Amino acid sequence: MPPEHSSPSAVDPERLAETMVGVIARSQRIAAEFMANQSGHLAGSLDPVQLAEQFLKNMAQFSFDPQALMKAQAEFWQGSLALWQQTALGALGASGQKVIEPEADDRRFRSDAWDDGHVFDFIKQSYLLASRYVIAAGESVSGIDDKKHAQINFYTRQFVDAMAPTNFALTNPDVLKRTVDSKGENLVKGFQNILDDLERNEGQLKTRMVDTEAFDLGRNLALTPGKVVLQNDLIQLIQYKPATATVSRTPLLVIPPWINKYYILDLRPKNSYIRWLVEQGHSVFVISWVNPGSELAGKGFEDYLLEGPLAALDAIQAITGTTQSNVIGYCLGGTLLAALLAYLEATDHADRVASATFLTSMIDFADPGDLGVFIDDQQVESLEQKMNRDGYLDGADMATTFNMLRSSDLIWSFVINNYLMGEEPLAFDLLYWNSDSTRMPARMHSEYLRTMYLENRFKEPGGMILGGVPIDIASVKTPCYFLSACEDHIAPWRSTFAGAGLFKGPVRFVLSGSGHIAGVVNPPDAKKYGYRTSRSRPRGDAEAWLQSAPIKEGSWWPNWQQWVSKFTGTNVKGRKPGAKKAFPVLEDAPGSYAGKRLDEENPK
């Protein structure tokens, strides 16, 4: 929201003075609370930003490839001299080609003020030259393993992003203009926003990304009509009201990740994947995971299998009278789906799942992408100490980690908007969901990090024992559909491609445009991104598969519907939630498990 008084003459000095007095008083009180909370509240927490700073300090101990470092230094000085020459000629009225330009997808410098040909153009290009040099220097570190090299490169990028001139009032032309136009009221409001965020988060500075007051589940988000028909310690099972007179005989179960809440698949009617599934004539059931407190600290990956999809399949069979279901797993829900298929295969119940769909799901964790930099023995041990004390991993820690994967967009852009420009966060449904963090039970998260990320045992025969059953991913013969996204930073598509190649049965691999969320939540009416698919099985060289897969326009959703229709069976009368006495309606969707936000409750 723009400042209330936009013209310089309209600023009321008395009102501004009153505001500053209030700000100073509040800052003194909150600063005292902040210092009192430091010793206990933050002790032992994993702060990725602090970790990055410490890591960069340790870079002084590394050795560098002299040839690569000299090349980087030479390019930096040549570029700097060319920039000085360009600037001098510009002062005389001459114009020439830029020495360096931002990447096409770099939105930090999209304002015309950065191309003024003088001060801010010089600041921008100087930063780009320096950042290119720092990144190249980091890449020239020698004598270390690939893991440590990836950590150096990642944290170097975090440092470079943090030092961007856009993040500071005196080197950001848009902030300076706003300051002059508003007589500094933007900075006053920005300081108030800082204090509000500190106060809201008990002394921790967590920048708000979204106006949380603008949304309410069941009012303007998660609107697809449905009922909760089953509840246990870990899940609520939602059965959705049919939108067609007849539905497919084979019901459809959706397993979302429990890192976030399920309603990413049901944000608004125009982009709701769940609503679209219902409109295609599926009998849709969706798992809504609990947001655990310390009372569920002992719940492990096995419990998530037994009390999650296995319990849901039992209920769905009783409700529909069918022995088979089609199952979709998203992200971590897809990893659990792979475990489910292997478990059913080992217990001679593989026919319970007619088809399996994996949405941006990791199964082979050999190359987990940028997330891997957060996970080594030392960091996992530190996390386990914290989780053993609390009983869970706090959702805010997970959110910070994921936001760092795109720090310019998901951290610094909000620092600029809220603190420098003095704006209020926007009302944006996707960011509301992104800020609706969930916890992870201590035992489950420890097993997940060690079995998957650290040791990559999940894909190995007997690498994980669930319900007393050694599972073997390679034994799965269920027909599978794998959807990945080409810009996915959380589940890199080449890694999901490797996981898809592990299965014995038929597999269709599809590569969508965009990233982990937009590549999945891509309704046909949007006519965006496109996708690739091929008759070739996802085995061997991912690049070779890519060359064999032509680009198709539009959403992947209709392609999936055409594929899954082979496993849906004949049509039957639409199934009304609560029709079975053994599974009465407990409450309306989205249900209480999804409805509670971390900032509205205190864990046990």
For the segment 110-168, what is each residue's pLDDT rounded down to a tens digit? 988 888 767 888 889 898 988 888 888 888 887 777 777 777 888 888 888 888 889 88
Within a domain: residue 405? no
CATH of the domain at 252: 3.40.50.1820
Tell me the C-alpha distance between 193 and 316, whole Å.
Answer: 48
Within a domain: residue 547? yes
Residues taking part in catalysis: 331
Q: What is the model's pLDDT at position 55?
A: 53
Residue scoring higher pLDDT (2 or 206):
206
Q: What is the model's pLDDT at position 408?
A: 72
Same domain, 85 and 153: yes
Most confident of 5-14, 204-213, 419-428: 419-428
Q: What is the model's pLDDT at position 116?
A: 73
Q: What is the model's pLDDT at position 17?
A: 55
Same domain, 331 and 469: yes
Total structural domains in the chain? 2
The helix (run of H) or strand (run of E) holding residue 4 is none
Is the per-residue pLDDT at 38 higher than 80?
no
Same domain, 45 and 191: yes
Within a domain: residue 561? yes
Same domain, 55 and 191: yes
Q: What is the model's pLDDT at position 49?
A: 47
Q: What is the model's pLDDT at position 73?
A: 75
Tell me the C-alpha distance between 23 and 27, whole Å.
Answer: 6
Name the band, by pLDDT with cuts 50, 70 and 90, for residue 79: confident
User: What's the domain range around 153?
Assistant: 17-200
Within a domain: residue 7? no
Query: What residues contact 568, with CB distance under 8 A and at least 6 apart?
Result: 248, 249, 250, 281, 282, 326
Same domain, 239 and 369: yes
200, 216, 244 - which closes a domain: 200
Q: What is the model's pLDDT at position 117?
A: 67
Same domain, 134 and 236: no
Per-residue pLDDT, averaged over 166-195, amounts to: 82
Interstrand relation of 252-255 and 284-289 (parallel, antiparallel or unpaired): parallel
Name the band, by pLDDT with cuts 50, 70 and 90, for residue 58: low
Is the per-residue pLDDT at 7 higher than 70?
no
Q: What is the model's pLDDT at position 3?
A: 39
Q: What is the model's pLDDT at position 301?
A: 96
Is the per-residue pLDDT at 512 higher than 90?
yes
Considering only 149-158, 309-318, 363-372, 389-398, which range has the smallest mean pLDDT? Answer: 149-158
Q: What is the model's pLDDT at position 104?
A: 84
pTM of the complete model:
0.82
Q: What is the model's pLDDT at position 183?
A: 77
Interstrand relation of 531-533 and 551-552 (parallel, antiparallel or unpaired): antiparallel
Percent helix, strand, coil in the chain (nearest 5)?
50, 10, 35
Is the per-residue pLDDT at 322 higher than 70?
yes
Name the band, by pLDDT with cuts 50, 70 and 90, for residue 11: very low
Tell me the C-alpha distance between 466 and 462, whole Å.
Answer: 10
Within a domain: residue 208? no
Within a domain: residue 577? yes
Is the per-residue pLDDT at 71 higher than 90?
no
Per-residue pLDDT, averaged over 233-239, amounts to: 98
166, 200, 234 - which closes a domain: 200
Considering only 105-109, 520-524, 585-589, 596-600, which range has the smallest mean pLDDT? Answer: 596-600
Same domain, 39 and 143: yes
HSE at residue 352, side-chain half, CA atoms within 13 A, is: 23
Region of 556 (left: φ > 0; alpha: ψ -120 to 50; beta: rest) is: alpha
Q: What is the model's pLDDT at position 604?
A: 41
Query: What residues contact 508, with CB distance under 8 A and at least 6 apart?
Result: 480, 481, 482, 533, 563
Write the DSSP assignment of 9-40 as a string of letters.
GG--HHHHHHHHHHHHHHHHHHHHHHHHHHHH
Is the per-residue pLDDT at 39 higher than 50?
no
Within a domain: residue 1? no
Same domain, 21 and 127: yes
Same domain, 115 and 177: yes
Per-residue pLDDT, averaged over 584-602, amounts to: 83
Three-state SS at 302? helix
CA distances from 336 to 352, 387, 401, 439 (A): 16, 22, 22, 17
Same domain, 136 and 97: yes
Within a domain: residue 421? no
Same domain, 239 and 108: no
Q: What is the model's pLDDT at position 250?
A: 98
Name the band, by pLDDT with cuts 50, 70 and 90, for residue 10: very low
Q: What is the model's pLDDT at position 105?
A: 82
Q: What is the model's pLDDT at position 602?
A: 45
Per-residue pLDDT, averaged over 96-107, amounts to: 85
Buried b (16+ CB within 10 A) or exposed e, 229-263: bbbeebbbbbbbbbbeeebbebbbbbbbbbbbbbb
Same domain, 503 and 558: yes
Q: Is 80:129 a contact under the CB 8 Å cutoff?
A: yes
Average pLDDT of the chain is: 85
Per-residue pLDDT, averaged over 481-500, amounts to: 95
